[in-house]
Amino acid sequence: MALYNYVNFITACDNKGGIGKNKVLPWKIPEELRYFQSITNGHVVVMGRTTYFSIPENFRPLSNRLNLVLTNDPELLKNDHGYDNLKFFNKNYYTNSSHNKNNIPNYQDHLELFTLSILVRNNPVYCNREIFIIGGEKIYNMYYNLLNRLSLDETIVYDLQIYKIYLTYIDKNYKCDTFFPKITEDFKLTSYSDKKYDEKENVNYRFLKYEKNYTILKVQKRNILILQKILLKKEIID
């Protein structure tokens, strides 16, 4: 099993950082949807209940992906739906987990991250796949804040490694009511596509990629931590 799972964000934003209006996407750009499909295919997608139910019924759960949907609705949390690739969850999903809570710093603060990590790592098909946080506003904000404030040491503890932001920049103001968080300086723009044009929307857009800016020194430190973690696990097994 991989030592950790990469966590990425994927979003499409208008030129004010807007992502949605009246609980749906304010634009319809088929190539953008195909791009989303190609990037997330075969991986884990994490979303809020509102975003999940904004997907047309015949397209949900998203196929060939593990759909993890955050909700506190007790009915949905029963997971009586018959889909193998759909789990409604919240931070209490593993209330009886045997995870050793005493060894973990800020346990209460980060229960959200543990639950996500365990859900993915316990899944026989998706345990080694990347995780994509796909929205909406509440979910982007929560994971962006939780993951970004972790030190490198902690990301290893949580088996999660924040990695990339895939952002489609749509050059128009759609007067949205929900927004992507402001991208902080620790992410660097590493690539962008040619300018594209959607005729029906009459709008230009580009696919951008940001990466978490780990300096070489930090990466070396992370590798040492990973090594320590392997040795520690070996000690426990032995």
Ligand X SMILES: NC(=O)c1ccc[n+]([C@@H]2O[C@H](COP(=O)([O-])OP(=O)(O)OC[C@H]3O[C@@H](n4cnc5c(N)ncnc54)[C@H](OP(=O)(O)O)[C@@H]3O)[C@@H](O)[C@H]2O)c1
Asked if 137 interacts with ligand X (CB under 6 A), we say yes
CB of 227 to ligand X, least distance (A): 33
Specify the residue, 74 or 124, whose C-beta has the smaller distance to ligand X. 74
Exposure letters 103-123 (e unless 16+ CB within 10 A, then b): eeeeeeebbebbbbbbbbbeb
Specify the residue, 20 or 61, whose C-beta has the smaller distance to ligand X. 20
Stretch of 41-49, 149-157, 196-204, 217-225 lying at the interface with ligand X (CB under 6 A)? 41-49
Specify the residue, 25 or 162, whose C-beta has the smaller distance to ligand X. 25
Stretch of 50-58, 114-122, 149-157, 205-213 lying at the interface with ligand X (CB under 6 A)? 50-58
Residue ranges in 165-204 that form contacts with ligand X under rule CB under 6 A: 178
Number of residues forming the site for ligand X (CB under 6 A):
27
CB of 232 to ligand X, least distance (A): 30
3-state SS record for the chain:
CCCCEEEEEEEEECCCCEEEECCECCCCCHHHHHHHHHHHCCCEEEEEHHHHHHCCHHHCCCCCCEEEEECCCHHHHCCCCCCCCEEEECCCCCCCCCCCHHHCCCCCCCHHHHHHHHHHHCCCCCCCCCEEEEECHHHHHHHHHHHHCCCHHHHHHCCEEEEEEEEEEECCCCCCCEECCCCCCCEEEEEECCCEEECCCCEEEEEEEEEECCCHHHHHHHHHHHHHHHHHHHHHHC
Residue ranges in 9-28 that form contacts with ligand X under rule CB under 6 A: 11-12, 19-20, 23-25
Specify the residue, 15 or 90, whose C-beta has the smaller distance to ligand X. 90
Specify the residue, 148 or 220, whose C-beta has the smaller distance to ligand X. 148
Asked if 29 interacts with ligand X (CB under 6 A), we say no
Stretch of 56-64, 67-75, 157-165, 188-196 lying at the interface with ligand X (CB under 6 A)? 67-75
Residue ranges that bind ligand X, judged by CB under 6 A: 11-12, 19-20, 23-25, 47-51, 54, 70-73, 90, 112, 134-139, 142, 178
